[in-house]
Amino acid sequence: MTTTQSGPSRSTVANRTTIASRLWHPFSSLHDTLASEISIVEGKGAQVRDSDGNWYLDATAGLWYANVGHGQLSIATAIAEQAGRLAAYSTFGNLVNPAAAELAERLAELAPMPDPMVFLTSGGSDAVDTAVKIARRYWTLRGEPDRSIVISRESSYHGMHGHGTSLAGIAANAAGYGNTTAPGFVRVPHDDAGALRRAIERLGAEQVAAFFVEPIIGAGGVHPPVSGYLREVAGICRQHGVLLVVDEVVTGFGRTADWFASVSYGLEPDLLLFAKGVTSGYVPLGGVIAARGVWEVFADAAAGMFRHGYTYSGHAVACAAATANLRLLVEHELLDRVAVLADDLATGLSALTVLPGVREVRTAGLLAAVALRTAEDPTLPDRVVRHARAAGVLTRVINGDSLQISPAFVLTDEELGQLVERLGEAIDQAVSDQ
């Protein structure tokens, strides 16, 4: 009798002892992480500690989010107090909780457009999918249901949900997931306003719902906008009646020394997406801030129900964490601190351009990328990351060739100097390994 094995082969995982943990890590090789993990157990300010007692400068602020740094007890206290009172309750229909209402009011005050409404989600990817639905539903309610095409940019990152994957301008993030280049999603070069105009004219403005843009491209390599680009594409959108959707999941809440990069670049979005820095990562939360011209269409009695939302939209603990985080940013004057750190970081990292392994340094606000020479040495970035960790700096590779630098706003002058010095040493060591 012939038997067949059911399920996938376990040839590479012979027994339990070969597995570091049962956690399936995002954005990783499962083959590699089964055998090796670094467990981060504590954080304080701009540093984190692993389970072996090693402290690291957190060069990326987690995943772009730890704006106020780790271990802020005021946020932890707000979380505990809210959880003890009411952890969560649905905000579907006409239900609300004070924490959600307070946060929405505060975000409306900070928003770069007058009289907005705030739709809360569980994170940035949720916010992207929500914005696509709002944009398409908006045009349907306006009597123009054919306006459903959404335009994004090459090198952009808009999360990993369904619509976000379709919008993605990072090809590797869409590979293997079927057809993500359907007619409803179109991409244009990230620094060419004329390409956007030509795409709208080719498609027909009556077919285009929205244009999604990161003010500063993040995961695609930290690319600041070319001079005048953002204002020009905003004007093109206004001219053709296309909704301008500004994805500030990475740039929001102080990264450019303004509450939003939209303020830094003179934009007034129709929809603004946020997450990450709204809570500094203490609890997952995101959302969409909608300009009055958008939300008032949904407020008409004839619009009926907007059939979209998430279990944790308006989660009370998450909202309390966000409000405490925003308060801390003000009380510690951290946006002013960003202005100083941004200049110092740009100056410090520029010195690395003389190293043989460095191709380019790009900076914008407290965001930076150190692009490495990978044409003849494609494994150089991974080696630099390993040497940096050994030297006490946690960073990662973005866009295949660059190191992500986006530290917490509480980074000290001494830590900034250490960060630059250790990165330089790691690059030199990685080059000498070849």
Residues 62 and 147 in one domain: no
DSSP 27-69: SS-HHHHTT----EEEEEBTEEEETTS-EEEETTHHHHT-TT-
40 bridge partner residues? 50
Give the end-to-end CA distance of the chain in Å, rounded to a whole number: 54
Q: Which residues are within 8 A (CB) of 404 and not within 5 positions of it... i.e. 6 or more apart? A: 59, 60, 64, 222, 369, 395, 396, 397, 398
Q: State the DSSP code for 7.
A: S
At 210, the pLDDT band (50, 70, 90 cuts) reads very high
Q: Is residue 49 part of a domain?
A: yes
Residues 277 and 366 in one domain: no
Q: Please count the residues of the chain.
A: 434
Residues 48 and 120 in one domain: no
Residue-range definition of the domain harbouring residue 378: 39-68+333-433
Residue predicted with more confidence, 13 or 392 = 392
Q: Is residue 7 part of a domain?
A: no
Residues 157 and 304 in one domain: yes
CATH of residue 354's domain is 3.90.1150.10
Q: Which residues are within 8 A (CB) of 62 and not within 5 positions of it... i.e. 6 or more apart? A: 281
Residues 257 and 181 in one domain: yes
Q: Is residue 184 part of a domain?
A: yes
Q: Is residue 2 part of a domain?
A: no
Mean pLDDT of the 197-206 span:
97
Give the pLDDT of residue 322.
98
Select from 312, 331, 350 the last residue of a domain.
331
Give the SS3 label for residue 21: coil
Residues 289 and 362 in one domain: no
Q: Are 370 and 294 in contact (CB under 8 A)?
A: no
CA of residue 47 relative to chain centroid, distance = 20
Q: Is residue 261 part of a domain?
A: yes
Q: Is residue 279 part of a domain?
A: yes
Rounded Cα distance between 387 and 370, Å, is 15
- Cα→Cα distances 153→241, 248, 334, Å: 19, 15, 31
Q: Is residue 56 part of a domain?
A: yes
DSSP 346-380: HHHHHGGGGSTTEEEEEEETTEEEEEE--SS-TTH
Select from 301, 331, 361 the last residue of a domain.
331
Residue 180 has pLDDT above 80, yes or no: no
Residues 202 and 350 in one domain: no
Q: Count, in order, helices (H) and strands (E) of the chain.
A: 15, 15
Judged by average pLDDT, the poorest of 84-88, 407-411, 430-434 is: 430-434
Residue with tokens 């925003």: 326
Select from 314, 331, 348 the last residue of a domain.
331
Residues 286 and 366 in one domain: no
Residues 280 and 301 in one domain: yes
Residues 83 and 117 in one domain: yes
Residues 255-310: tens digit of each pLDDT = 999 999 999 999 999 999 999 999 999 999 999 999 999 999 999 999 999 999 99
Residues 352-380: tens digit of each pLDDT = 999 999 999 999 999 999 999 999 899 99
For 210, other C-beta atoms within 10 Å of its C-beta total 25
Number of domains in the chain: 2
At 7, the pLDDT band (50, 70, 90 cuts) reads very low
Token pair belonging to 421? 């010095």
Rounded Cα distance between 164 and 278, Å, is 20
Residues 200 and 322 in one domain: yes
Residue 129 has pLDDT above 90, yes or no: yes
Residues 49 and 185 in one domain: no
At 26, the pLDDT band (50, 70, 90 cuts) reads confident
Residues 286-300: tens digit of each pLDDT = 999 999 999 999 999
Q: Is residue 25 part of a domain?
A: no
Mean pLDDT of the 116-121 span:
98
Token pair belonging to 28? 């990783």
Give the pLDDT of residue 25.
81
CATH of residue 184's domain is 3.40.640.10
